[in-house]
Chains A and B, each alone.
Chain A
Amino acid sequence: MKLLLLPTSGSALNFFKFFKASEAYSMWDTCAVELRVNLPRGVAEEVQKVQRTDPDMLSRIVFYAVTRRTIYDTLANRERASLTSQES
């Protein structure tokens, strides 16, 4: 089963690029947030393990995915607005 939040093979390179740019990530003003997500059991155990050993990694994954989602929303809204103005 493919997990939506995690990168597929082709976008793994994007992640590595982003993870390498650690100074870029650290410039963001951060605060703690509690999340509750449902995952396949095996993945859930793995996530808990990563949370103990490398919590920063999970923060980066969520940050990347949410940023991409916000960019997607921006593009989709812009397209909808453009179509609406063409129709009127």
Chain B
Amino acid sequence: MTVEHDGGKSGPENRAMAGSTTKQKVLRAKYLDWCSARLADSFLVLAPDEIYEMAERASHGHAVERLVAETVAHPSGVAADTFPRVQNSAAALPAADTESFRTLVALVTEVLAETLHLPSFETWAADYEKSPQKYDDELLGFWREAVTD
């Protein structure tokens, strides 16, 4: 029965391969956890104008005023619904009403991930192997889900 899945490899070889795959999966998830720290640092200090620009850039020119207005208060402190809105912009972005924060974060993350020059997975993993503690201290534990999946 095992042969169907392991291409005829023996038990120990198969276990070693599975172990290596799990290790790689954990490492990739830890990399994403670490990247989330770098991206959150940048995201959380953005001004509304910057969030707007990035979200619009990521949405490839689609109007995002409504999405930003639903999530971010106006910088001057006036109610968010006084933010300029574009007619019929609800169709421009998916599920803007119910998941505006998630959608906004996804759009801005896309731009930040391109501009922050984060290390590639390979570079990060090589450095992680040298000093894992340096990186583990910055993780919040989201990576654990990849192991339990």
Contact = CB atoms under 8 A, between A and B. Distances in A.
Contacts of B32: 72, 75-76, 79
Interface string A1-43: 0101101111100100110010011111110000000000000
Interface of B: 28-29, 32-33, 35-37, 39-41, 43-48, 70-73, 75, 80, 101-102, 105-106, 109-110, 113, 134, 136-142, 146
Contact of A18 (B44, B70, B140): B44
Decide if the interface of chain A is mainly helix, strand, loop or mixed: helix
A29 B43 CA distance: 16
Chain A: number of interface residues, binned into ranges: 20 to 34
Contact of B43 (A9, A27, A71, A79): A71
Contacts of A7: 140
A10 B40 contact: no
A65 interface: yes
Given A8-B136, A14-B138, A75-B113, 12 more contacts: A7-B140, A8-B137, A14-B41, A17-B41, A26-B73, A27-B48, A30-B73, A68-B40, A71-B40, A74-B105, A74-B106, A75-B35
A11 to B, nearest CB: 5
A51 interface: no
B40 A67 contact: yes
B138 A75 contact: no
